[in-house]
Amino acid sequence: MISMTGYAFGEKTEADMTVSVEIKGYNSRFLEVSVNAPPWLSALEPEIRAAVAGCCGRGRVDVSVRVKETGAPLTVTVNPAAAAAYMKAVTELTAALGLADKLSISKLLSLDGVMEAERERDATRFRQVLEPLLGDALAAFSAERAREGRHTAADILASLGRLEAALGLVKKNVPALEAALRENIVARFRELSAGRIDESRVLGETAVLLVKHTVAEEVSRLGAHLGEFRREAAAGERPGKKLDFLCQEMAREINTIGSKSAMLEVSRAVVEMKEALENVREQLRNIE
């Protein structure tokens, strides 16, 4: 089993730059990948998403790429037309209002569109640094998710063992439950017929009540679901969805057993099974 939650961080520093990659994983029904990177690295986003999809089947994965640069060449451009437009507008406004203030060069340069600065970056160089860094971070992320998955699997199987033990108690009481039904039918016939009992009718009524109240079929189906759960948990690479479906089926059988049984021992076992199954389902929310 693999957990959907995990964390990894990687960083590499070269002469004039530091690149870091941070990966966080959360629970989600489907695979959702979010990439937060500088705009000038947007061309690499599809590759980052593909790399994440290659190691994750489900879950929300947030990938953050940060770059710190020192000494990168800087290109500064000035837009004289924009500056002239600002100056004209301010001059007309000051004349109309009778103001003496003038637009200083520092304020003018800070206005939108007057001056732009852009660093010259070599995308190929950043790719050469980012690709192995991302690969190492994803490997650490996968290892962390696998480690958490092993712990979660141990908790799930422990709760499954509790459920199987409680099911064993129910199975043990099935003959007693059916015997009690037969005794109740015989007692009713004796009351109604003054001691004279029609055996064929008793058998017929017993069969009808056993169909309505016996839990033998539910016990059998629940046992089969438990066996399939263990097989899928052991062999499935990403068993989360199927195990969740099996939990739904098991819950249905447990509820039916609880509604049919009037024995105190069986009712207690049903409560134990419900609690154990709820623990299993809670843990499965973390599993791919």
pLDDT tens track, the chain, 288 positions? 899 999 999 999 887 788 999 999 999 988 999 999 988 888 889 999 999 999 998 899 999 999 887 766 667 888 889 888 988 888 888 888 877 777 788 888 888 888 887 666 677 778 888 899 999 999 999 999 999 999 999 999 999 999 999 999 999 988 887 777 777 766 666 666 655 656 666 666 666 666 666 788 899 999 999 999 999 998 877 898 999 999 999 999 999 998 887 778 888 999 999 999 999 999 999 998
**Domain range summary for the chain, segments of one domain joined by +:** 6-72+122-145, 74-119, 147-284
**Six-digit token string for 168:** 């064993």
What DSSP assignment string belongs to the chain?
Answer: --BS-EEEEEEEE-SSEEEEEEEEEE--SSEEEEEE--GGGGGGHHHHHHHHHTT-SSEEEEEEEEEEESS--EEEEE-HHHHHHHHHHHHHHHHHHT------HHHHHHSTTTEEEEE---HHHHHHHHHHHHHHHHHHHHHHHHHHHHHHHHHHHHHHHHHHHHHHHHHHHHHHHHHHHHHHHHHHHHHHHTT---HHHHHHHHHHHHHHH--HHHHHHHHHHHHHHHHHHHH-SS-HHHHHHHHHHHHHHHHHHHHH---HHHHHHHHHHHHHHHHHHHHHTTB-
Domain 6-72+122-145 classification at class level: alpha beta
**Six-digit token string for 239:** 């068993």
User: What CATH number should be reported for the domain whose range is 147-284?
Assistant: 1.20.120
